[in-house]
Amino acid sequence: MNKWSFPLVLLIAPALVMAGGAPTNSGSVPAEVTEGRQIYEQYCAACHGWQGEGAADWNKPDEKGEMPPPPHDETGHTWRHSDAMLFRMIAEGWRHPFNKTDRLTMPAFEDILTDQEIQSVINYLKTLWTEDQRRYQQNESQE
């Protein structure tokens, strides 16, 4: 072993661990966001995508006249809704008023998740947005 390789490993290994961790945020991730990510993967990812990328062609109605699951990342419009609105959409479910069917295409989670779990998943969604979007959404939530 040459005398330089040991300190180099010490420097590089932690950097690799961090790069493999959370996909968006650098630095430390609060426990609540980690919990939110787990809830997201278990209950939301199947429809909204593993990275919150949404369904393909999410912005036009499908063959039934229903809107497909939209993205939650910066390409979607989740960040335009206040905390209270997001909470309601997740707890009570949601369908676009223009959908041709009556069913809730976004299922209600109030019997499945606790209020606190819904809040954690909302906090996780916030990590998928840009700094500007987070600021906009924070303002919306204060009204």
Distance from C-alpha of 65 to C-alpha of 134, rounded to nearest angstrom: 31
Distance from C-alpha of 88 to C-alpha of 85, rounded to nearest angstrom: 5
Distance from C-alpha of 121 to C-alpha of 40, rounded to nearest angstrom: 6
109 binds ligand HEC (CB under 6 A): yes
Which residue in 21, 17, 72, 67 sits closest to 44, CA to CA? 72
128 binds ligand HEC (CB under 6 A): no
Among the listed residues 43, 87, 123, 134, the single contact to ligand HEC using CB under 6 A: 43
44 binds ligand HEC (CB under 6 A): yes
**Amino acid found at 53:** E
- The label of the residue with tokens 């490993």 reads 9
Q: What is the pattern of x (binds ligand HEC, CB under 6 A) and - over residues 63-102? A: ----xxxx-----xxx-------x--xx---xxx--x---
Among the listed residues 106, 126, 127, 128, the single contact to ligand HEC using CB under 6 A: 106
Contact set for ligand HEC, span 3-42 (CB under 6 A): none
Q: Minimal distance in Å, beta carbon 59 to ligand HEC? A: 10
Q: Minimal distance in Å, beta carbon 13 to ligand HEC? A: 35
Which residue in 141, 17, 27, 122 sits closest to 72, CA to CA? 122
Among the listed residues 34, 38, 82, 105, the single contact to ligand HEC using CB under 6 A: 105
Burial class (CB in 10 A: 0-12, 13-18, 19+), 99: middle
Binding residues vs ligand HEC (CB under 6 A)? 43-44, 46-48, 67-70, 76-78, 86, 89-90, 94-96, 99, 105-107, 109, 121
